[in-house]
Structure 1
Amino acid sequence: MRRYSPERKEALLKKLLPPHNMSVAELARQEGISDVTLYAWRKQAKAGGAAVPGDQKLTDNWSAESKLAVVIETAALSEIELSEYCRSKGLYPQQVKAWRDACLSGQQTAKAQRQLDREQAKADKKRIRELERELRRKDKALAEAAAILVLRKKLNAYWGDDSEDS
């Protein structure tokens, strides 16, 4: 089993990123490395928090984790530093800004979602109370009907009347 230096691994992984956007199979053929090895390296880089694409070539198809990693990495960068970062990753600053906005709107949506959940829980509690009230009413009606039937049977037994219709 061959060992590769970390610098070599990093250089090969960079070829998977924009602007090269090489596929794993293409890079494996070009470099003479097993595609399984490249997939494992890519998986390790993702686990380490690096922004690497999935199987897709387009940056818009990156995983949510990769997009979030880019947003976090670029949060404190100035406009010039952001542009330089984007050039190195093969991104556009507008994409990073859109991803940042999506992260922020996701947080705002979470707050709105909690509000909707509270309203839904309140409506559910009200519906449960109504159903319990209806269940109690029907239980009482059933008990009354059972009592009437028992009394009718006793009355019929007392008078010796076997017919059910009287």
Structure 2
Amino acid sequence: MSPYPKELKERLVRRMLDEKISPESLAELSGVGKTTLWRWRKAALDGALRAEAKPESAPERRSSAEKLRLVMAAEALEGKEFGAFLREEGVHTSDLRRWRAQMYEGLDGRTRAKKEATQKLRQAQRDKRELESELRRKEAALAETAALLVLSKKARRLWGDEDAPMIGKSDKSSST
């Protein structure tokens, strides 16, 4: 945090930039260190240069319509005209190549991607139906097995044969 008030900083920076006073001269007049003044001046100039730059000049900030316009305009140019166009618009050849590829993807890729996504969805739905069917079959088999077990126990109790081995189990005590 600067020990100097914001108003003082702004006033001194304005004097350096507007009145073209050097940081060394202003340091003697104001009592603020010349290194500090140089740093403030540099920060102000960097901020001014950023503010002057067009916000859409960054390739990733351009709209789709702007990218299309640039790609189409560049197609008709060659040599020096093409280089001048790139400098004037603030783009690189790699940007144009990438945008052109994105355009082709948009024309072909979206429909292809949409078809692939639809196919994957349908396959997932088929798989889900098969799994649900298998789950229902196994639940029914489990319920049937549980019912047979209950009936088997009831039958043994009813006929008084509780010491008899259960169905499917061997009687280890009788074999010795």
TM-score when scaled to structure 2?
Answer: 0.54
User: 2:67, 2:99 within 8 Å by CA — same for their partners in 1?
Assistant: yes
Uncovered stretches (5+) of structure 2, i.e. residues with no partner? 1-6, 14-37, 167-176
Which residue is equivalent to 1:144?
144
Aligned: 1:85 with 2:81: no
**1:84 CA displacement:** 3.2
SS in structure 1 opposite 2:162?
coil
Q: What is the match of residue 51 of structure 1?
A: 57
| Alignment check: 8 A CA contact 1:51 1:66 kept | yes
What is aligned with 2:154?
154
Aligned to 1:33: 43
RMSD between superposed Cα atoms in Å: 3.9
Structure 1 SS opposite 2:73: coil
Task: Provide the C-alpha distance between the structure 2 equivalents of 1:34 and 1:45, rounded to a whole number of angstroms.
Answer: 18
Aligned pairs for 1:1-166 (under 5 A) are: 2=10, 32-33=42-43, 37=47, 41=51, 46=55, 50-52=56-58, 63=60, 65-66=61-62, 71-75=67-71, 77=73, 79-80=76-77, 83-89=83-89, 91-92=91-92, 94-107=93-106, 108-163=108-163, 165-166=165-166
Distance 1:143 1:99 in 2: 61
Shift of 1:38: 6.9
Higher relative contact order (CA 8 A, sep 6+): 1
Quote the sequence identity (%).
24
Report how far residue 32 of structure 1 moved. Answer: 1.1
Unaligned 5+ runs, structure 1: 5-27, 53-61
Higher mean alpha-carbon deviation, 97-106 vs 134-143, is at 97-106
Displacement of 1:141: 0.3
| Structure 2 counterpart SS, 1:165 | coil
Give the total of aligned pairs: 127
- The corresponding residue for 1:24 is none
Secondary structure class of the residue paired with 1:158: helix
Is the CA contact 1:74–1:82 (under 8 Å) kept in the aligned structure 2? Answer: no
The 2-side partners of 1:161 and 1:68 are apart by 85
Contact 1:156 1:162 in 2 (8 A): yes
TM superposition score normalised by structure 1: 0.56
Cα distance in structure 2, aligned partners of 1:35 and 1:142? 79
Cα contact 2:71–2:96 (8 A) shared by 1:
no
Larger radius of gyration: 2
Sort the Cα spacing of 1:136 and 1:36 in 2 relative to 1 into closer, same or farther, 3 A.
farther
